Each structure stands twice: as C-alpha cells, then as structure tokens.
Amino acid sequence: MTGQSQDPEPHEQQRGPAEEEGEEEEEGDHMHVSVEREDGQLEQEHPLDKDLDKDLEKEEKEELPYPSLAPVVLLALTQHSPPRSWCLRARVSILAILLNCVTLGMFQPFYTNPLGCCDARACDCVCALDDGIFIFFAGEMVVKMVALGVIGQSGYLGDTWNRLDFFIVIVGMLEYSLDGHNVSLSAIRTVRVLRPLRAINRVPSMRILVTLLLDTLPMLGNVLALCFFVFFIFGIVGVQLWAGLLRNRCFMGEDVKMKYNVTFLSGYYRPEVTDDHPFICSMERENGMLRCSDVPRRRVAGTYCSLTAEEAEPEVRLRADQPAPCVNWFQYYTECRAGELNPHKGAINFDNIGYAWIAIFQVITLEGWVDIMYYVMDAHSFYNFIYFFFLIIVGSFFMINLCLVVIATQFSETKQREHALMKSEQRARQLHQSASTLASDSQPGSCYEEIIRYLAHLGRKAWRRLSRCLALTSTHLRRVCTCLKERGGAGRCGGRAGR
C-alpha cells in the first residue's frame, strides 16, 4: 500500500511541467509565487508571473477613487494624498457666484477712486466682499489644478468651462496688478460680466440648456441661411419700391415766403414739435393715401383758423388796435418733395439694403410694424399692405417657429445624452470609491435594503479574498510539486499534495 501511495499513475508520470502550466492557465490562477532552489538559483520566470503582475496593476488601478483622472499630479500628489483627496463642495462655489452677482449689481461707477472702489463708506463692504470672492475663485482654481492636474484631456485645462474660469481669474489678476498705474481698466472690467457664467457648469440643468444651444448651432445655421435669404428678397423689393419716399414732406411755396413774413413757421409741415410722427405726403406720380391738401387746419388756443392771408390783411388795417386774426397758414404747405430726414431720426427707411433689413427685422418682431406700414401706404400706395402681410406670415409665423422646432428636436437628444453622461459619471464615482464605501448605482432604499446590499457587498469581498488565498495555495503546491519531480521526489510531493 505504501508503494501504491507513493507511485503516481502512469498518465500522471507522463505529464510534464508544460502541461501543468497549461492547466494552470486554464484554471485562471493569477497569483505570483517564486520558488528558490537549494543551490541558491532562482527558477526561470513562469508565464503566470506576467499575468499576476498585470492583475496587480489592474487591482491598483481599480483601487483608485477616480480612475479617469491622473494618478499623480505636480510630480508628487497622488489621489490619496490629503490635499488632493479633500472634497470641495459645489454649493460653496454657487454661493460665491451668487454673491459676486450681488456685488456686481451694487457697483456705483460715479463714486469711484482710482482703485475702482467707492469712496463712500457704504461701498467699503462691497469692495471687500468682491476682493474676497476673487480670492476664493483663485483658490478654487488652484485646488482644481492640484486635484485634476493642469494639462491633459482629464486635466484642469482640458475642460471648456475650466478654461473660462481660468481666463476670468487671469483677467482679474491683471486688473489688480494694473491698479494705480494710470491705465484705463474699462475694457478689462467688462470681463466681470462673465463671472456669473461660472454657475453654468455647477448647475446640471443649466449646463444641459447651454449644451443644447451649442448643439443646435449647426442646425440653426441652415435656418439662419434661410432667414438671410428671406431678408434679402424682401429687402430688395422694399428698396426698389420705396427708396427715398419716407423723406417726403409738405413744404411752403417760395412765393408765399417772399410775400408774407412767415419766419415763425417751419420750412415744412410738422404735426408736432418733434419729428417722431411725421406727415409723409404722396407725390403726384404716386398713389399714396395722403396729399398736401390733406394737411389739417392751424389751431390757435383751441380754435381752428380758417382765414387766408388775403382775407386777414384788410382786417388788420381796419382794426390796428386788435390782435392779429387767426390765419390758417398750414394751407400754404402745398409742395410735396423730398426732405432731409426719415422717420424716427432717420432709423426707418428703405433707402438702402442695410436700413431695409432694420425695418424688416422690426416688422418681424411685431413691434411698431404698423407705423412703418402706414408710412409706406401714405407715401406710395394703399396696396402695400400685401408686402407686410406676406412678410409677417413668412418671417414671424414661419421662420421663428422653425427655429423653435429645431431647438425642440435637438433638446430631447441632448437631454438624453447629458443625462446618460451624468449617470455614467455618477456610476464611475460610486464604483471607484474607497474600499470601505459600498458601491451602489441605485437610489437609496429602505434600511433593510441597505443592510442586505451591504451584506452582499461584504460576501462578494470575502469570496474574492478566499479565491485569492486558494489560488495562492494551489499555485504554491504545484510549483513545489514541479520542483520535487525534477529532483526525483515525486512520492513526497504526492504525499504533501494529498495532505
């Protein structure tokens, strides 16, 4: 029985080290074990050693809290180093951004000293708060550089919003460094308006909206091209039909000016002192709705005048001690010709394609478009309303809604992509926490569910450790068995393996 226990089976004697190594690879044992011979020489490196090294490197990567970030930054700080492993709450950053918006709104430019702060005591706290917020922003930038690294795809400057924060902080430093050097800082201080944009990256829903607008730009480019085409067509039509017509005014004849002293009257008829709502007449060759004969009578002290200059002259001679009679001087505005100004201080006209686009844009916005239509109808033709009818249908009701359709179509796709991205980031953050933290991809449930989930996590962790121990023991025994077989001690090897 002793001989039978010591002698291996025939097929076991024929198995060499190569076959055992193949079985080890098939069984998936990846533990690194080195055996030293009695003569002091190490055995040749086993193929399992390379696999075990790879597994160890993989385990080290899995132990990183944030595998997507650089393992080491600034040549010394790892992800477990205390300054880098501290948590910076996003709510603190949002609070600082909101306070910065308040300080920007309370800034008073009329009571500032050369340093840019108010001389009044009420502004001292605002300036101090603004300086403190800037220091916080600069410190936040340094902390993020330490945590993420400076360069690289996963570094601080690899993100667009972080580059915006970096630009704002650098410009702020430039502003503080140039104070008191007799340098105009107006252009630099305008960058302060970009500070509220820092809140976009902190609020996920706002980030989705901004990403949506950026994603819709290529599709909106086609819509804007269509809008430009519509503007160009309607602008050319307007210039060809109404160029210079909105300058038409009713002027007084030169013979009347030479015969009577009418210096107290303006050169052309004005319904009001200002020229915001002018009386635009139609020339003889046009079919407009207003003629110079439609100029209303002159009104003095609430009374409409009806006398002509010829009728009033004899009365003045007979009653020299009486005040001047009420003469309707407006009836002498009989010449309709082009003047110098267009309506609304020259802003509304169709003299060239540029001003025509301004008028078309105002019509599409449906703000004050009725006045523009009335001006054109008074100067040219009643049937010009057809132009504005089609312009509002195509511009206001079609093109603007087309932009909304493009944005709504892109919104669902962008929202799904951003939500998937945020979920993946949250999942990666949860799965790569420290070993003492339970990785969970679901929302917190009841107390019993959390206990069961935690126990399952502990069971999986214990099973992994037990599997590693068993693999280590099995690999060690096989390596020892191989060593003994080479020396002719197969019987002792078999006995140890049995025990």
pLDDT tens figures, 162-186: 887 888 888 888 877 776 555 556 6
- Burial level of 351, CB count in 10 A (0-12/13-18/19+)? middle
State both tokens at 174: 């430039």
Domain housing 180: 82-202
Q: Which of 341, 364, 391 is the last residue of a domain?
A: 341
The verdict on 105 and 48 lying in the same domain is: no
Q: Are the C-beta atoms of 267 and 361 separated by less than 8 Å? A: no
Q: Which tens digits make up the pLDDT trace of 180-237?
A: 555 556 666 677 777 777 777 667 777 777 777 777 888 888 888 999 999 999 999 9
* C-alpha atoms less than 13 angstroms from C-alpha of 247 in its C-beta half-sphere: 10
Distance CA 4, CA 57 (A): 45
Closest CA to 137 of 184, 180, 170, 185: 170
The verdict on 52 and 100 lying in the same domain is: no
What is residue 182's predicted lDDT score, i.e. its pLDDT?
A: 56
Confirm whether pTM is higher than 0.85: no
What is residue 31's predicted lDDT score, i.e. its pLDDT?
A: 42
494 in any annotated domain: yes
Q: How many CB atoms lie within 10 A of CB 93?
A: 18
Q: Which of 149, 171, 202 is the last residue of a domain?
A: 202
Q: How many CB atoms lie within 10 A of CB 320?
A: 7
Beta bridge partners of 338: 248
Q: What is the 3-state secondary structure (H, E, C) of 146-168?
A: HHHCCCCCCCHHHCHHHHHHHHH
Q: Average pLDDT, whole number, for the chain?
A: 73
What's the structural domain count of the chain? 3
432 in any annotated domain: no
Q: Which of 202, 234, 265 is the last residue of a domain?
A: 202
The verdict on 58 and 93 lying in the same domain is: no
The verdict on 144 and 33 lying in the same domain is: no
pLDDT at 23 over 50: no
Q: Which tens digits make up the pLDDT trace of 371-405?
A: 999 999 999 999 999 999 999 999 989 888 888 88
Distance CA 499, CA 495 (A): 6
pLDDT at 4 over 70: no
